[in-house]
């Protein structure tokens, strides 16, 4: 597992975590925003009218309504990215990361408009009578780049696990264990069975389920979030000020949070923004291809609403809850995951300003730092590590009250602990203590700092359950459409079996490992899609112009 972690870290560093990727993603969105004259603003009101069915035609080809396509696509985006992803972005980059999530969403509204329109235009009816579409179809039928279409379809299958499957159940299981004490394997087993029952029914059953889950889960989450925000209303102004102000200065160290550079916040915010709303990834067009519409641009209009609802509304609520409650800079007792743990050489103190600066530079990948991994032996007496020439860092913070045990905290360890390249050689030892927390655990803790008190954690757990489960449902459809393109309808059932099995496995695997896989999978799907829609920029502009000509003719009849 450690070798897999190192491999994924290498890929993430050269793809999603690379400095060039956010510029490519935002650059394409900015180009189309200017090229199409800010459609996310000009067509926003019209998009709401389309999704409510005002311009629906009963005889239009397709399997679902505009609203069902929107909720299916939203169920694919509104998931752990809105609860865990926002928390993870703030944990890494501080308040400024939320600003870059907003920027990604605003430009992503145009990107999604383009990708959905073009994909819907080249959809086709499969042998079983259902619609199939997505970027692979325009890449194949319009660009004549079958190799690119095959590559994208393969990436979609991989990403269905890395985006829609593994991190979703992992977030659910972690939250259910923290809140209700349910064993992750039990949670994974029950939900895997339910997932299998839903996805076997195909797009019509998926659309029926998600159209009911999405509105309910959004309302529930809104109530819980507002309960925290209004309880901490005096902190909302400073929270917004830190989001905007830190964009230009980076996030300063505060509490247990050691700070983040401008570049680090930008990179992590954009990356988490894409994970949340998936604009440019090419996933939503697969859901929208099933919509009953004879005019592709009309379905593209509907998709403009997705990043707005997903990121600008729901992610902002999560961000304000975390920032206003102050939990993002507090340390809590938790079990240390190896992927977030490191022993560094030398004794560093959190109360020493120079030591904090050294650790800040180390954690934010600033080249000019002299912090190195510790190699040696640590003596442990009744669970307590003896003081030595090392410092324990966990979750990007100085670890405190560290306890080493065997199996559980009730069984403290006594003996020696060999450390190689910053990690214990014996991975059977359990290390726990006080450190920063992230992902679902951070959001859960924040929801307890409001009018609902400890009951707030149940809102997060139930919300995460509904959010993440609906995302897994939607992504199973994306994956089976990709498999249909690659190998035909017969390949769908084996894919679904593996999908459900992976869903179960991820319920009890390393959360950091799962998030890293998600980060890598997103990029290998996004890059070919961005290339494809850019190649068809002129056709997109012509399609929009033709749509308005036809629309105005229909309105004058």
pLDDT tens across 177-191, in order? 877 888 889 998 999
Question: What is the C-alpha to C-alpha distance for residues 489 and 498, in angstroms, rounded to an integer?
Answer: 16
* pLDDT given at position 518: 65
| Residue 328's pLDDT band (cuts 50, 70, 90) | very high
Task: Kindly report the pTM of this predicted structure.
Answer: 0.82
Least confident of 71-85, 152-166, 173-187, 484-498: 71-85
Sign of CA dihedral 198, 199, 200, 205: positive
pLDDT at position 358 over 70: yes
* pLDDT given at position 447: 94
* pLDDT given at position 280: 85
Which residues does residue 405 pair with via DSSP β-bridges, in sequence order?
412, 430
pLDDT, mean of residues 26-44: 95
pLDDT at position 23 over 70: yes
pLDDT per residue as tens digits for the range 117-158: 998 899 888 777 777 888 999 999 999 999 999 989 998 998
* pLDDT given at position 374: 96
> What are the helix and strand counts (H, E) for the chain?
25, 13
* pLDDT given at position 450: 94
Question: What is the C-alpha to C-alpha distance for residues 320 and 305, in angstroms, rounded to an integer?
Answer: 21
* pLDDT given at position 59: 64
* pLDDT given at position 76: 61
Backbone angles phi, psi at 52, to 5 degrees: -80, -5
- Please state whether 38 falls in left (phi above 0), alpha (psi between -120 and 50) or beta: left
pLDDT, mean of residues 39-59: 84
Q: What is the mean pLDDT of the chain?
A: 85
258, 359 contact by CB (below 8 A): yes
* pLDDT given at position 288: 83
pLDDT at position 56 over 70: no
| Residue 16's pLDDT band (cuts 50, 70, 90) | low
pLDDT at position 36 over 70: yes
Residue indicated by tokens 């235009």: 121
Cα 553 to chain centroid, rounded: 42
Question: What is the C-alpha to C-alpha distance for residues 291 and 344, in angstroms, rounded to an integer?
Answer: 54
* DSSP secondary structure letters along 365-378: T-SS----B--EEE
What percent of the chain is modeled with pLDDT above 70? 90
Question: What is the C-alpha to C-alpha distance for residues 379 and 414, in angstroms, rounded to an integer?
Answer: 8
Question: What is the C-alpha to C-alpha distance for residues 167 and 378, in angstroms, rounded to an integer?
Answer: 34
- The more confident residue out of 203 and 300 is 300
- Residue ranges per domain, the chain? 2-35+62-330+446-549, 332-435
* pLDDT given at position 284: 84
Residue 220, burial from CB neighbour count under 10 angstroms (0-12, 13-18, 19+):
middle
- The more confident residue out of 198 and 224 is 224
At residue 525's C-alpha, the angle toward residues 524 and 528, to 5°, is 90
* Whether CATH 3.30.930.10 fits 2-35+62-330+446-549: no
- Per residue in 359-387, is it b (16+ CB within 10 Å) or e — as a string? bbbbbbeeeeeebeebeeebebeebebee
21, 15 contact by CB (below 8 A): yes
pLDDT, mean of residues 49-69: 71
* pLDDT given at position 12: 67
* pLDDT given at position 535: 95
* pLDDT given at position 250: 82
Task: Please list the alpha-helical segments (H only) found in 36-145.
Answer: 39-42, 44-51, 66-77, 80, 86-93, 96-121, 135-141
What percent of the chain is modeled with pLDDT above 90? 39
pLDDT, mean of residues 535-549: 94
Residue 234, burial from CB neighbour count under 10 angstroms (0-12, 13-18, 19+):
exposed
| Residue 320's pLDDT band (cuts 50, 70, 90) | very high
């Amino acid at each position: 597992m450690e070798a897999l972690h190192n491999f994924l870290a290498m890929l993430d560093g050269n793809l999603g975590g690379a400095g060039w990727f956010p510029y490519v993603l935002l650059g394409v969105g900015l180009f189309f925003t200017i090229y199409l004259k800010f459609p996310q603003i000009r067509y926003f009101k019209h998009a709401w009218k389309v999704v409510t069915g005002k311009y629906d035609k009963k005889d239009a080809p397709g399997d679902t309504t505009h609203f069902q396509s929107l909720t299916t696509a939203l169920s694919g985006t509104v998931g752990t990215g809105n609860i865990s992803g926002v928390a993870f972005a703030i944990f890494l980059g501080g308040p400024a990361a939320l600003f870059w999530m907003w920027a990604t969403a605003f430009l992503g509204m145009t990107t999604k408009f383009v990708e959905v329109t073009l994909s819907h235009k080249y959809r086709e009816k499969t042998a079983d009578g259902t619609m199939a579409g997505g970027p692979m179809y325009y890449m194949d039928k319009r660009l004549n780049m079958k190799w690119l279409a095959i590559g994208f379809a393969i990436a979609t299958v991989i990403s269905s696990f890395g985006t829609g499957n593994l991190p979703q159940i992992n977030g659910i299981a972690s939250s259910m264990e923290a809140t209700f004490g349910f064993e992750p394997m039990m949670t994974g087993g029950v939900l895997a069975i339910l997932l299998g029952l839903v996805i076997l029914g195909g797009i019509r059953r998926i659309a029926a389920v998600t159209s009911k889950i999405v509105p309910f889960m959004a309302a529930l989450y809104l109530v819980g979030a507002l309960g925290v925000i209004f309880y901490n209303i005096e902190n909302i102004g400073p929270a917004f000020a830190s989001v905007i102000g830190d964009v230009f200065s980076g996030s300063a160290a505060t509490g247990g949070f050691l700070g983040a550079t401008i570049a680090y916040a930008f990179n992590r915010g954009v990356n988490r923004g894409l994970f949340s709303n998936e604009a440019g990834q090419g996933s939503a067009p697969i859901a929208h291809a099933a919509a009953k519409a004879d005019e592709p641009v009309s379905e593209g209009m509907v998709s403009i609403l997705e990043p707005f609802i997903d990121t600008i509304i729901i992610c902002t609520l999560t961000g304000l809850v975390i920032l206003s409650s102050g939990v993002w800079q507090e340390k809590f007792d938790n079990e240390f995951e190896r992927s977030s743990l490191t022993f560094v050489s030398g004794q560093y103190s959190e109360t020493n300003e120079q030591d904090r600066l050294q650790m800040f530079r180390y954690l934010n990948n600033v080249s000019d730092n002299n912090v190195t991994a510790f190699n040696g032996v640590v003596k442990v007496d009744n669970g307590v590590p003896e003081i030595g020439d090392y410092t324990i860092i966990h979750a990007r913070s100085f670890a405190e009250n560290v306890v080493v045990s065997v199996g559980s905290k009730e069984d403290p360890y006594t003996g020696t602990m060999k450390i190689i390249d910053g990690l214990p050689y014996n991975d059977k030892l359990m290390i726990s203590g006080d450190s920063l927390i992230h992902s679902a655990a951070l959001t859960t803790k924040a929801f307890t700092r409001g009018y609902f008190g400890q009951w707030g954690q149940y809102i997060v757990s139930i919300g995460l359950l509904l959010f993440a489960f609906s995302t897994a449902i939607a992504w199973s459809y994306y994956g089976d459409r990709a498999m249909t393109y690659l190998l035909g309808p017969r390949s769908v059932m084996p894919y679904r079996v593996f999908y459900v099995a992976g869903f179960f496995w991820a319920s009890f695997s390393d959360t950091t490992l799962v998030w890293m896989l998600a980060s890598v999978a997103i990029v290998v799907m996004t890059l070919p899609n961005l290339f494809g829609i850019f190649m068809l920029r002129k056709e997109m502009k012509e399609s929009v112009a033709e749509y308005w000509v036809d629309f105005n003719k229909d309105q004058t009849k």
